[in-house]
Structure 1
Amino acid sequence: MFELERGENLGAALNNTLSDISSDVSVKSSASDLLALALVMSVARCGDLRVPLRLGRIDATEAGPLGVPEAHTDLNATRKAFEKAGFNQEDMITLVACGHTLGSVHSVDHPEIVSGEVAAENIAQFDTTADKFDPIVVTEYLNNTTTNPLIINANDTLNSDKRVFGADGNATMIKLKDPAVYKTQCEDVFERMLDLVPAAVTLSDPLQPVDIKPYIDTHQLKGNDSIELIGRIRIRTTTTPPIDPSDLIVTLSYLDRNGRRSNASIPTTIGTFQGGSSFGYLGENFNWFEFKTTMPASSGISAFDVVLTSHSSGAVTTFDNSGTGGYAINPYILFQETNSCLEAENNFNGTLTVVAAVHKSKLQSNSAPQLKLVRRVPLPRSFIPKLETESIPLESASAETGEFAYYKMMVPLGVASWRTSFDIEIGEGAAAGKLEFQDTSELLGATCATLD
C-alpha cells in the first residue's frame, strides 16, 4: 500500500482491492490477512482449490525495496527476484501460470502491451476462460493458440510470460497441462506464497470451518434488575453424516456469574433471514438459530454450552467449546448498546457515546473503567488506515442498580473512525476484566436512550 505509485504497480486494480478491504481492517484482521483470505476464497470459488489459510500477518509500515518483475524484465532478473523470495525456477513458472489463469492486461495502464484503442473496455485476457481457474492458459501456450498479450506481443521484449514459461524448455508447462497436476501445484505455490512472512511473525494453524459458532448481539441491563441476552448460533450442517436442521432442537445450558449451572435453559428458534441458512467456503452449509431471553441481574451469565437434540431419535450432543468450560460471556462488564450512540454532527465529525454497566465487585476506589478506543488514522495516498488505540477513562454516570454501576464517556470521532471497535477494561492483575471488540458501526444514527 506504500508502493502504489511505482511503475511496477500501475493501474487501478490494486487501489480498488485495497479500497474494498479497507473498512474490514481492524485490530483483529490485518490488511495482509484480508488479502490472503481474498485469494483463498477466490481460487476456491473459481477452481475448487484448497489453499490453507493461516492468520497472524503484520502489515508493513513502509515501502519495501523496488524490484517486482515487469513485462520488460529479462529472464535472469526475474528468476533472481523469485529466488530472493524462496522460489526456484519451477516455482516461478508455476506461480505465473497459476496467477495468469484469471485476469487481464488493461490498455489504459499498458498501451504498449494491449493493441487497439486505449479505453477502459479494451483489455487483453491471458486465456479464453478468464473467469475460470483452469490450465487453459497452459494448454493454449503449448498448442500455440494463445492470445496472451505477454506471449504474442510484436515487441518480444514485453513477452515476459513467454520467457518464463519456456525457461526450462517447457518441461514444467508440459506437467501443468494435466488439470490434476495444475490444481495441486497451484495449491502448493499459493500456500507457500501466502505463508512467506518475516521471521518474527508466527502464523496460526490453518483455519477450519467450526461446527458451532455463537454470536452475542446484545448483553445489557434492562429494567427490573434483569439482563437481556440476544444472539445467534451458527451450526455447520455439512458434517458426516449431514445434519437435518429441521430435526434439531437447539438450547443453551448456561452458568451464572458464580459458575453455577442454571436449572433453566435458553430456547432458540430457527433464523428468519434467508430461511435461517447460509453457505460458505467449499460448499459448507450452515443453519442459524436465534435466541432472545432475560435473566436476573443478580445471577447473570458467564458461559454456556450449546445442546443439540434430535427430534426423531432423541439423541443429545453437547458442545462445550472443546472442553474449555463453555462459550464465555463477560458477566461483569456489560455494554449498554441501548444507551450508547454515534451522532454525526456533519459529514466529517461525530460524537461517540459509550455507556457500560460494571459489576460493583469489580470496582476499585482508585481505578476507573477504561475505554480502549481504536482510531482509524488516514495515511497519505493509502486506502489502509493506521490503527491507534487511545485509552480513555470512563466517568461515573451517577446511576446504579443493586448489582451494577453505570459509567459513561462521550468522545469526538472523525468520519474515518465511525466504523471501528473498542474494548472496556477494569482493574489490574488477576482481578482485571475486559469486554473486547465492541463494534461502533451499529451505533451510527441510533439515539442514546436515557438511563433508567
Structure 2
Amino acid sequence: MLSLDWNKLLRCVTVATVLSGVPSAQAYTWPNPLMEELDSQVYDRSDYNARKLPTGMRPSCGSFVFGEATGRANVGDWLRVAYHDMATHNKTDGTGGLDASIRFEESRDENAGDGFFNTIFFISPFANRYFSLADDIALAAVTAVEMCGGPKIAFRGGRVDAQEANAPGVPEPQQTLDEHIASFDRQGFTQEEMIGLVACGHSFGGVQNVAFPTIVPPSNDPNNTSGNAPFDSTFTEFDNKVVTEYLDGTTQNPLVIGPNVTTRSDFRIFNSDNNATMSKFADSSVFMSTCADLLARMINTVPSTVTLTEEVQPLPIKPTAMTLSFAGNGNIQLKGEVRFWNGSSDSDVKLFWKSRDGTTSPDFSVPLTLDTDHVTEPLVPGFPSLKSLWYDLPAISVNATQSISSFWFEVDGKVEDQNGVGYAMQDIVMMSNGSCLLLGDGTNVQLVLKFAIRADVKPSRVYLKADALDSSNAPIVQTTDLPLTTPESTLSGYNVWSATVASPINGWTVAVDVDGKTYETTYIVPGTSFSLSYANPTLCPQ
C-alpha cells in the first residue's frame, strides 16, 4: 500500500493554493465573518486595507516599539509570549494552552521581564469580536517568523480568551534536564521536539540583564541598555544560526556558555541526544520545515474545550465591506469592494445579482472597476511578488421591494459563484441614510442611528453590538437594546427607525433577533474600507 506523508502533502496543497489563487478543500464559503476576518489578518499585511500586526516589524525586523537603544526587538518578545502562554498546557487533563491567560500570569518568576506586558499592550487594540486576544498572540508570533525570514506557518483561529490564570508550568533556565523533559512532555512534546522547539524559539531574541541579572551581566553599550545577550549573531532574523554557531563552537548564547553553569539550559537541552537533532538542523531546509510544523503545533495547543477553525486560506475572490443600505427613497444601495487574490490587472470583471424572490435579469449586472491604487501585499514567505488587487463597485441601486438576495461574478467570461452557492446577502436589517454624530459638550459623544427593518418580520429584540476591551485587554462585545416605538417612516416594505446611543469607539453593528435567528448589519473593522463604512458617520446638522 502506498504510504502518504500527509504533512508534506498539506504543505504542497497550501503552496499550490497560494500560487494559483484556487481554494483548497479547506477554503471557507462567504459569508463567514470569522473566517473573513482571520483571512484579512493573515493575508492583508501591507498597503491597502492592511492589518496592523506587521507594523511591529517596521521599518525592520530589528524594530522595538518601546525604545530605540535597548538592544531588543519585538520579534523575540512576540515569539516568547506565545510559547509562555502555551506552556501551561496539561495534555492529561486538557487544561491550559494558548488562551491569553498570560495576561494574568506576568508577575510569576517563570515570566520574568516586561516583554509580556509590552506585547499585550501593543497588539491588544488589534483584537476584535472575530479575532480574540489569544488568536492575536498566536498570529503575532507567526507574523514575526514569516516576515523575518522564517517559513510559512499554518494558522487556525477560534482561540478563546481565558478569564483567569492557568497553573504555573513554564520551564526555567535553572531547572534540570529531567525537569525540562517532563515539562515539555506535559505540554505534548517529545524530547526531540523539545530540542527543536527551543532551537526554533531561540532563533530570535536573547536574555536581558534587566530580567535575568544572574545569567547575563549589565551592558555598557549605549545601544544595549537592557543588557541583551543574543542567542545568536542574527537574533532579529529567523534562521538556523542558533544551531550552526552552537555546533561550530562560536555561539555566544548565554544559555549555552554563560558563566552560571546552572542556567545553561540550552546546552543541556541541545546536547541531550548527543547533538543528533541539532546536527540535522544544520541543514537549513530541515530546520525551516521542522520549525514550521513545531510552531504550528505550539500555537494550536489550546484547552481541550476549544475547537479551532480549519487552516486559514485566502479566499480567491473575497467581497469586503459589502453592505445593503436603505437609501430613503424606496431604494436599496449595494456598496463594497472585492479583493482578488493574486489577480490580473487586465481581467474583465462583472457582478450579477438575484432579487429577493430569486429573479435574475440582464439588467441585474454591473462591471467592476480596478482601483490601481488599491493593492495589498500578503508577504507570504517565498512568494514576494504575490499581490491582491481590489475592484470597486459602481453605484448600485435597486427597488427595495426587489432587494438583493445574492450575487456572483464573471471573470473573463467564467462564472465565479463559490461552486454554485453564490454570495448570499441578508436584507432583514440594514442601515439607512442619515446616521450621524452628536458632539454635545465634546465629552459625551452620541451616535444617532438610522436603520431599516423589513416590515414583514417581527423581531423579538433589536440591539447595538459594539466592540470593546475588558479590563484585562481582551475583546468583548457590549450590547445596548434599541427600543422600538413608532417608526419614522414606512416605505417599500421597510420600517425606518431612529435611536440615539453613546457613540461606540470601535466596530459596531445593529442586530435583530427573529424566530431564533440573529441578523445584523455588516461588520467593518475600524481602520479599513473607510470610504465605504457607515461606521464613520458625519456630524449631525445643527
Q: TM-score, normalised by structure 2?
A: 0.72
2:520 corresponds to: 435
Looking at structure 2, the residues matched to 354 and 251 of structure 1 have their Cα atoms a distance apart, in angstroms, of: 33
- Give the one of 344, 348, 354 matched to 1:244: 344
User: Which residue pairs with 2:92 in the alignment?
Assistant: none
Superposition deviation, residue 448 in structure 1: 4.1
Q: Compute the RMSD of aligned alpha carbons.
A: 2.6
Distance in 1, matches of 2:158 and 2:438, equals: 31
| Distance in structure 2 (CA, Å) of the matches to 1:28 and 1:425 | 19
The question of whether the paired residues in 1 share the 8 Å contact of 2:454 and 2:493 is answered with yes
- Aligned counterpart for 2:416 among listed residues 305, 319, 331: 319
Distance 1:37 1:77, change over 3 A: same
Corresponding residue to 1:424 among 505, 511, 515: 511
Structure of higher RCO (CA pairs closer than 8 Å, 6+ residues apart): 2
Query: CA offset at residue 437 of structure 1?
Result: 5.3
- The residue number in structure 1 matching 2:455 is 360
User: Is the CA contact 2:488–2:498 (under 8 Å) kept in the aligned structure 1?
Assistant: no
Partner of 2:497: 407
Distance in 2, matches of 1:47 and 1:337, equals 48
Q: Output the CA distance in 1 between the equivalents of 2:423 and 2:260.
A: 62
Residue in structure 1 matching 2:276, options 141, 158, 171 = 171
Equivalent residue for 2:399?
Answer: 296
Cα distance change of structure 1 residues 48 and 108 upon mapping to structure 2, 3 Å threshold = closer
> Alpha-carbon deviation of 1:421?
2.7
Answer yes or no: is the 8 Å Cα contact 2:432–2:451 preserved in 1: yes
Q: CA deviation at 1:308?
A: 0.7
Query: Is 1:147 the counterpart of 2:252 in the alignment?
Result: yes
What secondary structure does 1:266 align onto? strand
TM-score, length of structure 1 as denominator length? 0.86
**Counterpart Cα distance in 2 of 1:215 and 1:58:** 25
Q: 2: CA distance between counterparts of 1:449 and 1:301?
A: 31
Q: Partner residue of 2:373? A: 273
Q: For 2:324 and 2:242, how far apart are their aligned partners in 1?
A: 53
Shift in Å at residue 91 of structure 1?
0.9
**Per-residue deviation at 1:321?**
2.4
Partner of 2:335: 230
Compute the displacement of 1:178 (Å).
Answer: 1.1
Q: Structure 1 357/8 Cα, relative in aligned 2: closer, same or farther at 3 Å?
A: same
Note the C-alpha offset of 1:136: 0.7
Q: Is the 8 A contact 1:420 1:439 kept in 2?
A: yes
Output the CA distance in 2 between the equivalents of 1:395 and 1:141. 73
| 1:112 aligned counterpart, secondary structure | coil
**Which stretch shows the higher mean deviation, 225-234 or 87-96?**
225-234
Match of residue 14 from structure 2: none
CA contact (8 A) 1:3 1:63 kept: yes
Residue 289 of structure 1 and its aligned partner are, at CA, apart by 0.5
Deviation, structure 1 residue 253 = 0.6
Aligned counterpart, 2:356:
257
CA contact (8 A) 2:430 2:521 kept: no
- Structure 1 residues 12, 137: CA separation in 2 closer, same or farther (over 3 Å shift)? same
Give the Cα separation in 2 of the matches to 1:281 and 1:394: 48
Say if 1:234 and 1:421 are closer, same or farther in 2 by CA, change over 3 A: same
Provide the rounded CA distance (Å) in 2 between the counterparts of 1:194 and 1:20: 19
Which residue in the other structure is 1:312 paired with? none
Q: CA deviation at 1:70?
A: 1.8
Q: Alpha carbons of 1:405 and 1:387: their partners in 2 closer, same or farther (altered >3 Å)? A: closer
For residues 267 and 344 of structure 1, the distance between their equivalents in structure 2, rounded to whole angstroms, comes to 43
Q: Partner of 2:456: helix, strand, or coil?
A: helix
Specify which of 123, 138, 159 is matched with residue 36 of structure 1.
138
1:39-438 mapped onto 2 (5 Å cutoff): 39-117=141-219, 120-237=225-342, 244-246=344-346, 248-264=347-363, 265-274=365-374, 276-282=375-381, 283=383, 284-293=386-395, 294-309=397-412, 316-324=413-421, 326-336=422-432, 338-341=434-437, 343=439, 346=442, 350-362=445-457, 364=458, 367=459, 369-374=461-466, 376=468, 378-379=470-471, 382-412=472-502, 418-429=505-516, 432=517, 434-436=519-521, 438=523
Question: 1:435 Cα deviation (Å)?
Answer: 1.7
Could you tell me how far apart the structure 1 residues matched to 2:336 and 2:497 are? 24
- In the TM superposition, residue 259 of structure 1 has moved relative to its aligned partner by 1.6
SS of 1:80's equivalent? helix
**Unmatched tracts of structure 1, length 5 or more:** 238-242, 310-315
Q: Identity across aligned pairs (percent)?
A: 32
Amino acid paired to 2:316: D
1:223-255 C-alpha deviation (Å, 9 max, x unpaired): 432222221111112xxxxx5322x11111101
Structure 1 counterpart SS, 2:148: helix
Q: How far apart, CA to CA, are the structure 2 residues paired with 1:344 and 1:302? A: 39
Aligned equivalents of 2:352, 2:388: Cα separation in 1? 21
Question: For 2:473 and 2:133, how far apart are their aligned partners in 1?
Answer: 10
Contact 2:324/2:427, CA 8 A, preserved across alignment: no
AA paired with 1:81? S
Q: How many angstroms apart in 1 are the aligned matches of 2:428 and 2:496?
A: 12
Give the 3-state SS of the residue equivalent to 1:50 in structure 2. coil
CA deviation profile, 1:99-150 (whole Å, cap 9, x unmatched): 0001222232223233233863532211111222111100101111011121
**1:355-399 CA distances to partner (integer Å, 9 max, x unpaired)?**
21112122x3xx4551142453532xx333454545544554422
Q: Once the two structures are superposed, what CA deviation does each residue of 1:2-34 show, in whole Å capped at 9, x if it has no partner?
A: 111222222222222222321232221111122
Moved more, 148-157 or 277-286: 277-286
**Cα distance in structure 1, aligned partners of 2:299 and 2:355:** 43
Letter in 1 for 2:424: A
Would the aligned equivalents of 1:338 and 1:449 in 2 still touch at CA under 8 Å?
A: no
Does the 8 A contact of 1:219 with 1:334 survive in 2? yes
Task: Give the strand-richer structure, 1 or 2.
Answer: 1
SS state of the match for residue 393, structure 2? strand
Question: Take 1:426 and 1:378, find their aligned partners in 2: how far apart are those partners?
Answer: 25
Amino acid across the alignment from 1:86: G
How far 1:296 sits from its partner (Å)? Answer: 2.1
Paired residue type of 1:336: S
Mapped partners of 2:492, 2:331: distance in 1: 11
What code does the residue aligned with 1:269 have? Answer: T
3-state SS of 1:383 partner: coil
**Structure 2: distance between partners of 1:259 and 1:292:** 22
SS of the counterpart of 1:273?
strand
User: 2:128·2:467 contact (CA, 8 Å) conserved in 1?
Assistant: no
